[in-house]
Amino acid sequence: MLTAPPGSADEAIAALLASPELAPLVAAHRVIEPRAPRHAPWPAGVEPRLVDALRGRGIEAPYTHQAAAYGAAAAGRNVVVVTPTASGKTLCYNLPVLGAVAADDAARALYLFPTKALAADQLVELRGLADAAGLGLKSHTYDGDTPPNVRSVVRAAGQVVITNPDMLHSAILPHHTKWFKLFENLRFVVIDELHTYRGLFGSHVANVVRRLRRICAHYGADPVFICASATIANPRELAERIVEAPVELIDDNGAPSGRRHVLVINPPVANEQLGVRGSALLTGQRLAERLIRGGVQTIAFARSRTAVEVLTSYLRETFAPPPGHPHTIRGYRGGYLPNERNEIERGLRDGRVRGVVATNALELGIDIGSLDAAISIGYPGTIASTWQQMGRAGRRTGTSLSALVCSSAPIDQFLAAHPEYLFYSSPEHGLVNPDNLHVLLNHLRASSFELPVPAGERFGIDETPMLLDVLQEDGWIRRAEDDRYYWSHENFPASDFSLRSGAPENVVIVDTTGERHRVLGEVDLFAAPLLVHEKAIYIHQGVQYHVDRLDWDERKAFVTRTDVDYYTDADLGITLKVLEVFDEADVPPAGKRQRGEVMVAWKVTMFKKLKYHTHENVGWGSISLPETEMHTTATWLVPPAELVNRYDRDTLDGALIGLARVARTTGALLLMCDPRDLGVLAQVQAPFTGRPTLYLYDAVPGGVGLTERLFGLVDELIRVCREAVDSCACADGCPACVGPAIEVGPRGKAVVSELLAGMG
Amino acid sequence: MRSLADRLATLPRPRPAAQPVDHAAARERADRLARWFGARLDVQEGGAAVVVERRIRLPSDVASRLATLAPGSYFDTETTGLSTGAGTVVFLSGTGRLLGDELVVRQLLLPDYPHERALLRLLAADLAERPRLVTYNGRGFDLPLLAARLTVNGLFREQAGLPAQHDDLLPVARRLFRRPLGGARLATIEAGVLGVRRGLDCPGSEVPLRYFSYLRGSSPDVLADVLDHNLQDVVSVALLEGEVVRLRAGGWVHADVLDRRGMAVELMRCGAVDDAIGLLEDASHAATDAGEVVALRRLATRLLLAGGEVERAEALWTSGTRRASLDAATAWIEVARIRERHRGDLHGAMEAAAAASRVLDLAFALGRGGGMREVGKVRLRVEARLRRLRRWTAAAERRAAAQRRRVSPRGPGGPPLPTWPGRLAS
C-alpha cells in the first residue's frame, strides 16, 4: 500500500488534476511548457580533459549560459549567473576553476556556500568531475566539521577550499598568514546561492568580502568573483553591492525542463462570518498523501519548525511502515545534526524516502536530485523563495507538479486573489546595506586585526577615518607614528560577533530521558524563548519532548520524551522606544510621518496549549525569560487628531491592529521584501507621540534600509492599503485584508477604511 | 539629517576602558625606552629595537650538562594577545645562549608597532646563529606566532633561515611531572622541580595590558616587570633542559618527583630502551596501586616484545599470578596473549587462559574480585579468548591432519596457505 511503482508519477499527477475534489480549491493553474535545451559550442580554452570527462557523462556541449559564464570568467570578468534550480549552474564555475588549476598547479579558488551541507555536497560534485578528468585535484571543505589533522593540509595545499562566510570571517581571514598560499594565488572566488546573502546576513557578507579583498591585495592577488543566484529582481545590483566591483549578468538559461503544473490552492472557507479558511496544513497534508500514495516523490515545505514536525507526524501515521522497517516519510529542518541530515538526503536520492517535510533549509540547492512534486504550505515570504521551493519539483523530462497552498495570512490571501502577482510580477529585490554602521564597524575592527589600516584607507565608505578615530577612542586600535592604525587590544575581534544574527550562540537541547543525556539539536537564541521555554512541547522528528528546564545563562534546554495530545504555541509581546528622529514630514490634514532610530524589545510572556487536529485551546502557562532588545530604524505614521477623536478607544485599538496588518502586507509588497523583515507595531497611545501611532520597523539590528525607502513611499503605501481594504469582498474584515472582526472589532474594517481615507 | 558622528555616538558598542592617546614622536620614544632600561637601540632598515642584554650565572653542573648538547637558543616571547591570529604581535623576545657557566639572554623590545620588521630581522638573525631552538610550548604558540609575524612582514628568507631543530620541553615536562605535580605550567615546574621562586611576578594575563598601557603613554616602567618575567622564563627553560638531561643520564634512579612511566617513555624516546625496561620492572615491583602496576607492566611488555625478549615479558606477568585475585586473572590473560601472539604457542596460551578462568573463579569465591561488574568484565575477556583459542587449536589440528593425508590442493606453485587461522575455519 505504501507506494506505487516508480514511473507512474505522470499518471498520478494527471489523475489528481482531474479529480473533482481538487477543482474547487484551485485558485490558479498554469502549465509551464517543456523547454528544449539550447547548447553552445565549447568555448576556446576549455581544458580538453574536462571536455572529455563531460562527454563521458553524456554532456556533448555546454548550455548557452554555461558557455557564456566560462567565457567571461576565464577572461577575468566578474559574473553573476542567474538560472533556475537544476540548470547546471555549478558547471558555470567549476569549468573555469578546474581549468585554471589544470593549467597551473599553484592556482587557488575559494568557494563560499551559506551552509555546511551545501559545501559538502559541492565537494562531492567537484571531486567527481576532477577525478573523471584525471586532474588529481586537492580540494576539501573547511568548516566546523573538518578534522584538525586535515585542516593544516587544506591550509597549505588545498587548491579549491570550500567553506562558508562564517568560517571565512572567524577562522580564515584572522589567520591569513597560515593561508598565504591560498591568498597569494587566489584566482577565483565563487559565491553560490547569492540570493541568500540579503538583509543583515548579506550586509555582513559584503563586509567579509571587503576584508577578503584587503588580504588578497596584501598578498598581491586580485581574484575574479563568480556568483550564482536563484531568480531575484536585481541579481546584478546585489552582486555588485557584495563584490563592490562591476559584475556581468548571465541569465540566458539554456537548460531544458519537463512539463510542470503550477497550482495555487486556497483551502475552502470554513467560517463565513470570520472569513476564516480551512487549515493550509490540513489541505497540504491531503494533497501530499494523495501524491505519495500515487508513487509521486513529494516534498512539502512548511513555514515553521513546529509545522514541519506536526505534518511529519500526520504523514507518518498515514504511511506507517511495517514494524522494523524505516519510515519512508522524513522531517528535515535546521536543528537536526549533520549525520541525520545526510541520511535523509541520501534516502531522497536513492528513493527510499518517498516524502519529506522541510523548512526552508532544503530550499537551497542541496543536491537531492529533483522530485516529482513540491508543495509549499503557506507563502514562504518571497516570490523568489516560492519559485525556489517550487523548483524542487521538476524533472528534465516527464511531468511534475508544484503547488502553493495559501494560508489565512493576508499576503497568502492576496496571492490567492491575485495569482498573476506570482506568475508575472518580477520577484523581490535582494537588499543589503553593507554600510550599516553596526555591521561595518564590527568588520572594520576585525579587519584592523588582520592588517593595520593606513590612515587614508577607505573601508567601504568615505567616512572610514572617522570610524577609525571612534575605534581608537574606544581603545580597540591605535594610530602609530607611521599613520597606520594597529589593533591594540588583547581580544580576538572576529569572535565578538556573528554574521547570522545578533545572537552569537545557540541553545542546545539536551534529552534527559535515558540514562545518558544526549544532544538532540539546537535552536538559535532568538527562537529559543518561542520553542523551548519551560513546559513547552518541543517536537523533534515527530517525537514529543517536554521542556523541563531552560537554563538561559548556560544556553541549555533539558527535555524528556513525552506523549501528549497537544502542542504549545508561545505569544510574543513587543515594545518600542524612539531614540532619535532623523526625518519628519507634517502633511496636514493627513497627519504626521516620522523616521528615525528606535529600540524594539520583545519578550515571550505566555504560551497556549493547543490540541492536535482540532487546534482548540486546552490550557496556558506563563513564561519568565529576559527581554531581547534590538536597535533599528523605523518609519511611523500619526493620523491627525480630529480623525482619531471620532472613535472610542476600543474601536480605535481594533482598527489600528487591522491597519498594522494591512500595512505590513502591502509594505512588504511595495518594498518587495519578506513580510517578516518588516516589523509593525500599533500603539493606541504611543509614549513618544502621545497619540495613536503605527510603527513600521526594519526587523534586523541597525536595519537594512527598508524603512528609509518606505518613508518616501508613505503616500503610495496608504493608497495601496486603501485599495486592498476597499476592494476586499468580505463584509467586516477577513484575513486577506484587515483581519477577522473578532480581532479588529465589529466596525474594524470600516474604521480602517476611514482612517486610510483621512491619512491619504 | 544627523551627522555620522552623532549617529556613531548612539551606537551601542562593547566599550573597553578608554585610555589616553599618546602622540609622542617616533624616534624620541624609542630612544627614551632604550635609555630607561640602560640599553642600546639597534637601528635597522625598517625601524629599531631596544636590545637588553643580561647574563645569568647557572649552577655549574647545569651549565656543564647543557654544554654536552648542540648549542641551543632558549627562547620565549611576550605578545599582545593569546590568539595566534594575524593581529597578535610579538613585542618582546628573549633568547638565551650558553657561554661558559653563564646564560647570556638578549631581549628585543619593540618601541612601537611600526618597528616590528626591525625586531623580527634582528631576532631571526640571532636565532639562525645556533642550530637548535629550545622552548616551553613553542610548538603550540611562540613559533606559529613568529611564523605569522614573518609572513605578515614578507620576511620569507628570514623564516627559511630559522633552525630546523626545535626541542619543545612542554611535552617532556608533561610526561615527567604532570601526574606528580598535578599540572605542567612552567610556574608549577619551577616551584616543584627547579626550585625557582618568582618574586613579585607580572601575571601572564597582564602582559598585553602593560604593553598597551606603555603604548598609550605610560612610563616604560610598566614594562620592567614584563622584561623580568620574560628573562625568568628563558632561564627556566634552560634550567629545565639541564634537569631533563640529568634525569635521562640516570638521575631518575633517585628522583623524588617523577612519573616513572613517563620517564620510561622518555628514556625509550632517547633510545635507552634497556634503562626504560629496568625502570619499569623496578617500578612495577615497587608500585602499590594495582592499576599503575598493570600500566607499568604493559609498557614494559611492549618494549620487551619489540626487542624480542619474550621470556622476560612473560616472566614480568607470571610474577604477578601467585595470589588468586582479579589482577592475577588479568596477568594470566596477558601471559596467554604473549604465548599466542609472540610464541605461536596455542596450547600454552590455552593453558594460561584456562588458568585465568580458574583464578577468576577462585578470586570471586574468596571475595577478592571486587564487584560483580569488574569480575564480569574480566570474565567476558577470559571467555572470549578461550573460545577463540579452542577454535584455532581445533582448526590447526584439522589442518595438520589434512597435511599428513595429502598434498596441497593448490599444488606446489599456488599461494601459501594462510598461516593464521581465520574465522572461516569454524
pLDDT at A505 over 70: no
Is the CB of A452 less than 8 angstroms away from the CB of B113? yes
Answer whether A607's CB lies under 8 Å from A535's CB: yes
Residue A742 or B330, more confident = B330
pLDDT tens readout for residues A561-596: 988 888 888 877 888 989 888 899 888 788 899 999
Contact A478 B215 (CB under 8 A): yes
- What range defines the domain where residue B404 resides? 320-408
| Stretch A718-740: mean pLDDT | 79
Cell of A590: 493627513
Strands B47-57 and A224-229: unpaired
Nearest by CB: B113 against A178, A449, A486? A486
**Is this model's pTM higher than 0.95 or not?**
no
Per mean pLDDT, which range of A263-272, A372-381, A682-691 is the poorest?
A263-272
Of A180, A493, A631, the CB nearest to B12: A631
Residues B154 and B287 in one domain: no
Looking at the structure, tell me whether residues B198 and B154 fall in a common domain.
Answer: yes
**What are the residue ranges spanned by the domains of chain A?**
9-33+257-424, 48-250, 437-492, 506-564, 571-759
B275 grid coordinates: 634503562
Residues of A in contact with B19 (CB under 8 A): 475
User: Cβ(A64)–Cβ(A252) under 8 Å?
Assistant: yes
CB–CB contacts below 8 A, A to B = 110
Comparing alpha-carbon positions, the chain A residue that sits nearest to B151 is A177
Q: How confident is the model at residue A245 (pLDDT cuts 50, 70, 90)?
A: very high
- Please list every residue in chain B whose beta carbon sits closer than 8 Å to the beta carbon of residue A577: none
Question: Quick one: which of B382, B176, B154, B99 has its CA closest to A176?
Answer: B154
Range of lowest pLDDT (A444-458, A503-517, A623-637): A503-517
The verdict on B188 and B329 lying in the same domain is: no
Beta bridge mates, B105: B54, B96
Q: Give one DSSP letter per residue of A173-235, joined into a string.
A: GGGGGGGHHHHHTEEEEEE-SGGGS-HHHHHHHHHHHHHHHHHHHHTT--PEEEEEE-S-S-H
The pLDDT of residue A236 is: 94
The answer on B272 and B140 residing in a single domain is no
Closest CA–CA distance from residue A672 to any residue of chain B (Å): 26
Question: Nearest-CA residue of chain A relative to B19?
Answer: A475
| CB–CB contact A174 B13 (8 Å) | no
Read off the C-alpha cell for A181: 598560499
Q: Is B254 part of a structural domain of the chain?
A: no
How confident is residue A195, by pLDDT bands cut at 50, 70 and 90? confident
A279 reaches B (C-beta below 8 A): no
Put simply, the answer to whether A481 touches B26 (Cβ < 8 Å) is yes
Please provide the average confidence, as pLDDT, over all residues in chain A. Answer: 86
Residue segments in chain B with a per-residue pLDDT below the cut of 70: 1-26, 369-370, 406-426
- In terms of CA atoms, which chain B residue is nearest residue A446? B87
Question: Omega into A589 within 30° of 0, i.e. cis?
Answer: yes
Contacts of A491 in chain B (CB under 8 A): 81
Task: Please state, rounded to an integer, the average pLDDT across all residues of chain B.
Answer: 84
CB contact under 8 A, B112 and A480: yes
Cβ pair B86:A177 closer than 8 A: yes
Whether B273 and B230 share a structural domain: no
> Which runs of consecutive H residues, i.e. helices, occur in A483-596?
528-531
Output the pLDDT for position A418. 76
Facing residue for A441 by CB, picked from B11, B89, B212? B11
The pLDDT of residue A272 is 64
> Residues of A with CB below 8 A from B209's CB?
490
Q: Which long-range contacts (CB under 8 A, 24 or more apart) does A746-753 make?
A: A747/A651, A747/A654, A747/A655, A748/A651, A748/A654, A748/A655, A748/A657, A748/A658, A749/A658, A749/A725, A751/A647, A751/A651, A751/A652, A751/A654, A751/A655, A751/A658, A752/A655, A752/A658, A752/A659, A752/A662, A752/A725, A753/A722, A753/A725, A753/A726
* Residues of B engaging A, defined by a Cβ cutoff of 8 Å: 1-2, 4-5, 7-8, 10-19, 21, 25-26, 29, 80-87, 89, 112-114, 144, 147-149, 151-152, 208-209, 212, 215-216
Contacts of A441 in chain B (CB under 8 A): 8, 11, 13
pLDDT at res. B23: 42
Residues B78 and B208 in one domain: yes
In this predicted structure, what is the pLDDT of residue B20? 41
* Residue located via cell numbers 500595512: A663
Q: Are A384 and A230 in contact (CB under 8 A)?
A: yes
DSSP state of B243: H
Q: What is the pLDDT of residue B18?
A: 41
- DSSP labels, A463-484: THHHHHHHHHHTTSEEE-TTSE
Residue A368 burial (CB count, 10 A): 21
Contact A480 B83 (CB under 8 A): no
CA distance B97 to B108: 14
* Dihedral sign of CA atoms A522, A524, A527, A529 in order: positive
Same domain, B85 and B30: yes
Asked if A365 contacts A379 with a C-beta cutoff of 8 angstroms, the reply is no
d(CA B29, CA B52): 16
Q: How far is A143 from chain B (nearest CA, A)?
A: 17
A601 touching chain B per CB within 8 A:
no
Query: What is the predicted ipTM?
Result: 0.76
Q: Which of A174, A438, A482 sits opposite B86 (nearest CB)?
A: A174
Residues of A in contact with B3 (CB under 8 A): none
At A129 the pLDDT is: 93
B212 and B285 in a single domain? The answer is: no
Query: Dihedral angle at the C-alpha atoms of B73, B78, B79, B85, nearest 10 degrees?
Result: 40
* Closest residue on chain B to A481 (Cα): B26
pLDDT in tens, A168-178: 999 999 999 99
Which positions in chain A touch B17 (Cβ < 8 Å)? Answer: 475
Same domain, B288 and B362: no
- CA dist A574 and A571 (Å) reads 10
Q: Do B87 and A449 touch (CB under 8 A)?
A: yes
Chain B contact set for A489 (CB, 8 A): 16, 81, 212
B248, B279, B300 - which closes a domain:
B248
Are B330 and B308 within one domain?
A: no
The confidence band for A7, taking pLDDT boundaries of 50, 70 and 90, is low
Most confident of A501-510, A747-756, B239-248: B239-248
Query: Chain B contact for A494, CB < 8 A?
Result: yes
Question: For A598-633, how does the pLDDT look when each residue is reduced to its tens digit (9 = 90+)?
Answer: 988 878 888 888 887 666 788 888 888 888 777 788
Contacts of B86 in chain A (CB under 8 A): 174-177, 449-451
The CATH number for B95's domain is: 3.30.420.10
User: Residue B11: its pLDDT value, please?
Assistant: 54
Q: Is the pLDDT of residue A674 over 50?
A: yes
Residues of B in contact with A631 (CB under 8 A): 11-12
Number of domains in chain B: 3
* B96 and B234 assigned to the same domain: yes
Q: How far is CA B129 from the centre of its chain?
A: 26
B85 plus B148 within the same structural domain: yes
The least confident of A335-339, A409-413, A658-662, B71-75 is A335-339
Residue B6 lies in a domain: no
Helices (H) and strands (E) in chain A, counts: 25, 30
Report phi then psi at A629, rounded to 5. -120, 160
Average pLDDT over residues A328-351: 76
Percent of chain A with pLDDT over 90: 37
**Is residue B418 one of the residues assigned to a domain?**
no
Residue A2 is predicted with a pLDDT of 40
Instruction: With H, G, I as helix, E, B as strand and everything else as coil, classify residue B319.
Output: coil
Cβ contacts of A467 on chain B, cutoff 8 Å: 8
Task: Answer whether B87 sits within 8 Å of A579, measured CB to CB.
Answer: no
Residue A6 to residues A260, A298, A366, A403, A413, Cα–Cα distance (Å) = 18, 13, 23, 21, 35
Q: Is A177 on the interface with B (CB under 8 A)?
A: yes
Closest CA to A690 of A636, A647, A759: A636
Q: Quick one: closest CA in A to B27, which residue? A: A481
In a domain, B414, yes or no: no
Q: Among A174, A177, A449, whose Cβ lies nearest the Cβ of B151?
A: A177
Contact criterion met (CB < 8 Å) for B8 and A437? yes
CA distance B189 to A157: 39
CB A370 within 8 A of CB A364: no
From the list A285, A240, A311, A354, the residue with the least C-alpha distance to A1 is A354
What is the Cα–Cα distance from B223 to B235, expressed in whole angstroms? 18
Q: Where are the alpha helices (DSSP H) in B249-343?
A: 260-269, 273-286, 290-306, 310-318, 326-338
In CATH, the architecture of A9-33+257-424 is: 3-Layer(aba) Sandwich (3.40)
Closest residue of chain B to A178, computed from CA coordinates: B148
| Per-residue pLDDT at A97 exceeds 60 | yes
Q: Could you check whether A9-33+257-424 and A48-250 share the same CATH topology? A: yes
pLDDT tens for B45-74 read: 778 999 999 999 999 999 999 999 999 999
Whether A152 has its CB under 8 Å from any CB of chain B: the answer is no
**Beta A453-454 vs A276-277: how paired, if at all?**
unpaired
In a domain, B419, yes or no: no
Q: How confident is the model at residue A10 (pLDDT cuts 50, 70, 90)?
A: confident
Cross-chain Cβ contact A481/B86 below 8 Å:
no
- Does CATH number 3.40.50.300 belong to domain A48-250? yes
Question: Given this model, what pLDDT does residue B3 score?
Answer: 45
Enumerate the residues of chain B whose CB falls inside 8 A of the CB of residue A488.
80, 212, 215-216
The alpha-carbon gap from A453 to the nearest alpha carbon of chain B, in Å, equals 12
Q: Please name the residue that has the C-alpha cell 522524513.
A: A330
